Each structure stands twice: as C-alpha cells, then as structure tokens.
Chains A and B, each alone.
Chain A
Amino acid sequence: MPAVTTAAGLRYTAMTIPWHPMVIATVVGAAVLASGHARLVVIPTTLLAAAAGFAFDDSSYETLAASPSSLIRRRLGRLIVVIPPTIILWTALVSQGVNGRQETLTLVAMFAGLVGLTLGIAGVAALRTGGRGGAVAAPVLLLALIVSAVFPPLWRPLPLGDVPGGWPALQTRWSTAAVIGTLVLLVSSRDPARRR
C-alpha cells in the first residue's frame, strides 16, 4: 500500500510540474549543437539547468502549504520527478561533443553547479512568489553569470572559459557553486510554519 501511495504521489506531482521549459531547453539545445559549434555545449547545459528551476512551480502551492507534508518533503518529491529526466536529456545532448576524462568531469561539475544554483534561486524565489520561482531563476542565473564574468579569471566564481589552474580549478569552483546552491535550497525549504 505505501509503495502504491508513493508511486501515485509522484505521478500526481509530475502532473503539476510545468514541463514545457524542459522541452524548450532540449529543442533549442539540440538545435544549437546541431549547428556544429562544440564550444556552444554550455548553452544546452545552461538551458536545461535553468529549466530545472521550474520544478518548484506549483499552482497549488498555497493550498498544499497547510498540508501535513512538510515543504522540504514536497520539494524532494518534485526533484525526484524532475532531476532524472534533466540528467538523461543533458547526457544525451552533450555526450557527443565531450573529449577526455577531465573535460567530462568539468562539464559534469558545471552542470551540477548550474542546477544547484538554479534550484537554490528557485527555492528562495518560490517562497516570495507563491510557488512560482521558475520564471525568476533563469534571469537571476543569467545575472550571476554576467557578474561572474566581471571578475578577473583568477577570481571568477562561475567560469565559462579557461582560468588559471586549468581543469581542477574549474571543477572546484563549479562544485562549490553546486554545494552553495544546494545549501541555499535546503535553508529555503524549511517549512514556513516552523520559522520564528
């Protein structure tokens, strides 16, 4: 009985998630990669990460806020539904244009960092927009990338190109971004009813 309840819960959760951002990100990402520019692999990576920000968009946010299920649990259910297809689509899109272990690791770290940041932003924004933080996440992510580009490469927190230190430095910075984004998401997922 509990297993059936969980499966049904995930199915109904999937029905409330807006999937069109993921479809748009996949189609545009595939079109960009089809143009033959391998260096543009960052576009599908960013678009799919930004699309994941819509995971928390929930038109029944206010109604469910009073349910016995905590906010973090509800969000976890949505992530379980959204993250696997996001990873599968991203892997399918970018796997053709990656060469070597270091490059693969860096790209994975970048994707994790972008997804982590997007979810962190969307988590905070959802609280302030009544469960519609997805539309806020993408512009804020763009702003973060722009502000990061202002820093010299040595200090750039979200590097999209070469930085001193090479692959390890890129992997460290993007992994750090992933951790920070996840922490922000966790803090923003504290149930509002338990806040002082």
Chain B
Amino acid sequence: MTSISSGPARGVLVALARVDGRHLLVSPLFLVGLGVALLGTAVFVLGVLTDDATTWSNDAWTIGVGFFLAAVFAMLAVNRASLRDHREHTGEQHGSLPTNQTLRLAGMFGAVLWPAIVSTLLLGVVVVFASTQVDVPVITIVHVLHNAALFLMLGAVGLTLAAWVPSSFAAPVVAFALYFIDPGETPAAWHVIWPFATLGTVELAMWHIVYLLGLALLLLATAATRWERGRGQAIVFLGSAATVAASVTVLIIRVCSQAGPCLL
C-alpha cells in the first residue's frame, strides 16, 4: 500500500500524480491502447520490410492512427480511474481526506503525464527507427510532440466527463464518436478544431499543440467548477479560453489561405 503524506498542496499533488500515474501505466485500457499503437506501427514496419515503394508520407498514417487510438484508450483509462469514488461509493470517505476534490483532479491530470510521456517516447523510438529505413520529414518531430498534447487533452476530456457525467458509459460514447466521425475527405479550414488534425507546416503544427493544451486546461477548469468556483478557476478558465480562441483563429486564417491545397 502506498501512503501519501499530508503537507503542502504541491507535495500532495505530486504524490497523487505519481501514484495515479503508475496505476494508469499498468491499467488494462492504457495497455490495450499501446497494443493498438504497436499494431499500427507493425503494419508500417511490415510494409517497409516487404515493399520498397513504402514511404513515410504515404504509409505512416497507420502509426499516426495507432497512437491517436492509444490516446483515446488513455482517455477511457483516466475516466475509469476518476470514476472509482463513484463506482465504489467511497466519495464520503475520501471527503474526509486532507485534500479537496480540485487538488485530486489536478493530481489525476498530473498522472496523465505518465502515459503521455511513455507513448511519446515510444512514438519517438518508432520515428527514429523509421528514419533509418525511409525519408522522414523534419515536421514529424512536431507531430511527436503533438501526440503528447493529444494525450493530455483527451485525458482532460476523461476527467471532465467523470466530473460532470459520472457514468461509465459516457467516455466510451466519446471514444466511439472519435472513432467513427471524421471531418470529411475534402480539407476545410474548420477541420483544425479536430484533435487528430495534423498540420502541414511546423508553425501551424505548433499552433495546433497550443490549441490542444489550451483546450486541456479549459476542460480541466470546467471539471473543477463541479466542486469549486473560486478566482483561481476563473483565471485558468479565461486564460485557457483566450488561448484556444487565439490559436483556433490563427489556424483557421492560415491553414487554407495560402496558394495551393489546405495545409491539413
């Protein structure tokens, strides 16, 4: 049994993030997600080894989809972990602990860093391996970082759902929606709001990461308002909303404005 010492809020937050992060890493749902990511990677590697015509730009989408789906499964894992009080009817007991719900929420968001880091490192290794076999464009480095931001944003989705819709069916509904719905074949500027959008230039890809991180903080602040509505939450809410608005504006203005096709 792991004990968490009482003390300054930051110390408790780090301890909670560490404990829950370790639990997330070994949760079946996250491991299934990693399996899906490796399945997508295996399809690409098989293509590289058996077909000389395999290229990064044409065939590496299986890796991207695999890691996108891994992030979706991480969202399910985070949601399930966040719902344990609800599921086990331990809300009252945990209410007597020397931490409040907002701090536990922040701790769980910190825990999402673990799967985000592990999957991003794994994707980095895959990209390094692929670069020894085929030409990999430089922008892929930004897409690897995009993967970490995607994990954090979808983790925040899982937390927000657990806070406001405490049903173990809500997160799977979102997962099915993310799996089935795609913005469409013809690129359009509004597609940048889709979390899985991969942008064609380094600058736009960086803006999309800013958008995802802003969205994560916005969702986190929204989740926190379930229990507490203080000045801190308001500042985070307004700051993240402004970040999301600014990044989406930049993306929408630039992604289809230049000559040629949209940079999606």
Contact = CB atoms under 8 A, between A and B. Distances in A.
A132 B77 CA distance: 16
Nearest to B168: A135
B179 A20 contact: no
A20 B167 contact: yes
A67 B190 CA distance: 58
A135 B161 CA distance: 14
The listed residue with most A CB atoms (<10 A of its CB), out of B69, B73, B168, B172, is: B172
B217 interface: no
Given A134-B168, A150-B39, A150-B43, A142 B176 contact: yes
A24 B169 contact: yes
B172 A139 contact: yes
A188 interface: no
B173 A24 contact: yes
A43 B176 contact: yes
B69 A47 contact: no
Nearest to B72: A142
Contacts of B173: 24-25, 28, 47
Query: Would you call the interface of chain A mostly helix, strand, loop, or mixed?
Result: helix
A50 B76 CA distance: 15
A46 B168 CA distance: 16
A146 interface: yes
Contacts, number: 60
A178 interface: no
Given A50-B172, A135-B169, A146-B69, A28 B80 contact: no
A72 interface: no
A82 B39 CA distance: 35
Contacts of A47: 173, 176
Interface residues of B, number: 23
A143 interface: yes
B53 interface: no
A109 interface: no
Nearest to A59: B89
Contacts of B259: none
Contact of B167 (A21, A142, A143): A21
Contacts of B36: 143, 146
Contacts of B175: 138-139, 142
A42 B169 contact: no
Contacts of A98: none
A42 B182 CA distance: 13
Interface in B1-53: 29, 32, 36, 39, 43
A50 B176 contact: yes
B185 to A, nearest CB: 12
Contacts of A43: 176-177, 180-181
B34 to A, nearest CB: 12
A65 B176 CA distance: 33
A145 B169 contact: no
A147 interface: yes
A138 B72 CA distance: 13
B170 A24 contact: yes
Nearest to B184: A37
Contacts of A21: 167, 169
A38 interface: no
Interface in A88-143: 132, 134-135, 138-139, 142-143
Contacts of A143: 32, 36
Interface of B: 29, 32, 36, 39, 43, 69, 73, 76, 80, 87, 165, 167-170, 172-173, 175-177, 179-181
23 contacts: A20-B167, A20-B169, A24-B169, A40-B180, A40-B181, A42-B180, A43-B176, A43-B177, A43-B181, A47-B176, A50-B176, A135-B168, A138-B169, A138-B172, A138-B176, A139-B32, A139-B175, A142-B179, A143-B32, A143-B36, A145-B179, A146-B36, A147-B39
Given A20-B167, A51-B169, 6 more contacts: A24-B167, A28-B177, A47-B176, A135-B172, A139-B29, A139-B73
Query: Ordered nearest first, which 7 A-B pairs have the shortest CB separation?
Result: A138-B172, A135-B168, A21-B169, A20-B167, A43-B180, A139-B76, A28-B173
